[in-house]
């Protein structure tokens, strides 16, 4: 029973790094499968004693991964991937996928919640350690947000941006769509968690953003429909999460962070700052993707989503800064720095994810 969770010290000196990596990957894959089985266990919280062996093995691997990812100076990509995949499998239960109702049997399981909390506590501490929070607390928040937005709305092209624009092949572009479909096919869904509450101008602006993401209630105009059309043009899978196994952990981390800040009302300012960055900076990234598609001579259907987002997100960015972030800074003067924290975290994590996506594209292109 313990073979799945040992650290394999006997391989040192006689096994190579590839063998160790393969064994570690198998260990994490097995633990993830165990967790999937636990999620599907009817009334899990009343079956913990019966499932104790499986739970013990899973928890040992979970603990090992947390140490490897967040307490090891060098980090461990396989541990990051395992933890973010487990966390996502928990978080996705907050959305309805129009599937078998029994899949939601354990959506309020205390045991599942404890697993989420254990991962989040270690992960969030690791993420926050990468930002000088004390410096943010000293800022003139409104000025800081205005200055950041003025730069991020039209940033200098990075090396990765130039690669997308000038070098990516059609194979690479399809891989980009496959990874992008993870978010593109469930456009704006997590935003639903922050829309309820007292009516005011900020809330109404957020609702306007949400409604445009959802095509004002018309499926034919919903942004995810345009993404699905791009996939269809290439004969690709249009099912949500159809390319889950291709998604780098850095992208999963962005999604899991978004789940956290939308679900926790205490993080409302962080979420609002993050969405401000996302909407301000989005068009610049989409222009890179659009330029790549145009260079490749692709059809309108194969790039329409980017054109739509460029138009709408330029407007959303102004709304988020002028009608959400700045008013919130005035309303919560003592906590307003959290808006900048959310903005800076979204940028840091988004940049990290973008690099991981380009790295994945390059690997696919080199393999063909």
Q: pLDDT digit string (tens) for 62-98?
A: 999 999 999 987 779 999 999 999 999 999 999 999 9
Residues ≥6 apart with Cβ < 8 Å to 35: 58, 86, 89, 115
Name the residue among 114, 115, 356, 353 with its Cα closest to residue 253. 353
- Do 317 and 173 fall within a single domain? yes
Estimate the share of the chain in helix, then strand, then coil, as percent rounded to the nearest 5.
75, 0, 25
- Do 61 and 108 fall within a single domain? yes
Residue 11's pLDDT is 41
- Do 122 and 145 fall within a single domain? no
- Domain containing residue 345: CATH number: 1.20.910.10
For the purposes of burial, counting CB atoms within 10 Å of the CB of 132, is it exposed (0-12), middle (13-18) or buried (19 or more)?
exposed
Asked which of 98, 128, 158 is the last residue of a domain, the reply is 128
Residues ≥6 apart with Cβ < 8 Å to 71: 122
Q: What is the pLDDT of residues 302-354, one digit of tens each?
A: 998 999 889 888 899 999 999 999 999 999 999 999 999 999 999 999 999 99
Residue 116: domain span: 2-128
* Residue 26 in tokens: 């198998």
Exposure on the CB side of residue 341, measured as CA atoms within 13 A: 24
Q: What is the pLDDT of residues 101-118, one digit of tens each?
A: 999 999 999 999 999 999
- Do 9 and 114 fall within a single domain? yes
- Do 87 and 137 fall within a single domain? no
Q: Tell me if 261 sits within 8 A of 274, measured CB to CB.
A: yes
Asked which of 128, 162, 194 is the last residue of a domain, the reply is 128
- Do 185 and 271 fall within a single domain? yes
- Do 303 and 346 fall within a single domain? yes
| Distance of alpha carbon 241 from alpha carbon 184, whole angstroms | 10
- Do 306 and 170 fall within a single domain? yes
Asked which of 75, 96, 128 is the last residue of a domain, the reply is 128
Residue 311's pLDDT is 86
- Do 258 and 340 fall within a single domain? yes
What pTM did the predictor assign? 0.93
| Distance of alpha carbon 269 from alpha carbon 263, whole angstroms | 12
User: How many structural domains compose the chain?
Assistant: 2
- Do 195 and 326 fall within a single domain? yes
């Amino acid at each position: 029973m313990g073979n799945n969770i040992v650290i394999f010290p006997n391989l040192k000196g006689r096994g190579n790094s590839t063998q160790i990596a393969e064994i570690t990957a198998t260990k994490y894959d097995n633990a993830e499968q165990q967790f999937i089985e636990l999620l599907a266990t009817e009334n899990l919280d009343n079956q913990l004693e019966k499932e104790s062996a499986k739970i013990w093995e899973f928890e040992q691997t979970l603990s090992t991964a947390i140490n490897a990812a967040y307490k090891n100076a060098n980090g461990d990509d396989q541990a990051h991937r395992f933890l973010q995949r487990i966390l996502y499998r928990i978080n996705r239960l907050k959305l309805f996928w129009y599937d078998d109702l029994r899949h939601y049997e354990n959506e309020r399981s205390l045991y599942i919640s404890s697993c989420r909390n254990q991962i989040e506590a270690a992960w969030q501490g690791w993420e926050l350690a990468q930002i000088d929070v004390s410096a943010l607390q000293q800022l003139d928040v409104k000025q800081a947000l205005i200055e950041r937005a003025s730069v991020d709305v039209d940033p200098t092209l990075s090396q990765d941006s130039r690669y997308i624009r000038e070098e990516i092949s059609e194979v690479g572009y399809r891989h980009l769509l496959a990874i992008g479909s993870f978010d593109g096919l469930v456009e704006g869904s997590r935003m639903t968690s922050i829309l309820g509450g007292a009516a005011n101008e900020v809330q109404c602006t957020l609702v306007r953003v949400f409604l445009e993401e959802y095509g004002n209630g018309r499926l034919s105009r919903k942004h995810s429909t345009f993404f699905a059309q791009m996939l269809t043009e290439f004969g690709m899978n249009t099912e949500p999460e159809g390319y889950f196994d291709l998604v780098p952990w850095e992208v999963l981390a962005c999604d899991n962070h978004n789940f956290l800040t939308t679900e926790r009302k205490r993080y409302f300012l962080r979420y609002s700052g993050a969405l401000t960055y996302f909407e301000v900076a989005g068009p610049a990234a989409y222009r890179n993707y659009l330029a790549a598609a145009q260079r490749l001579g692709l059809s309108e259907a194969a790039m329409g989503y980017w054109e739509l987002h460029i138009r709408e997100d330029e407007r959303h960015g102004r709304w988020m800064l002028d009608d959400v972030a700045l008013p919130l800074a005035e309303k919560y003067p003592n906590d307003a720095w959290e808006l900048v924290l959310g903005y800076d975290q979204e940028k840091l994590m988004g940049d990290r994810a973008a690099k991981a996506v380009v790295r994945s594209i390059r690997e696919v292109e080199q393999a063909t």
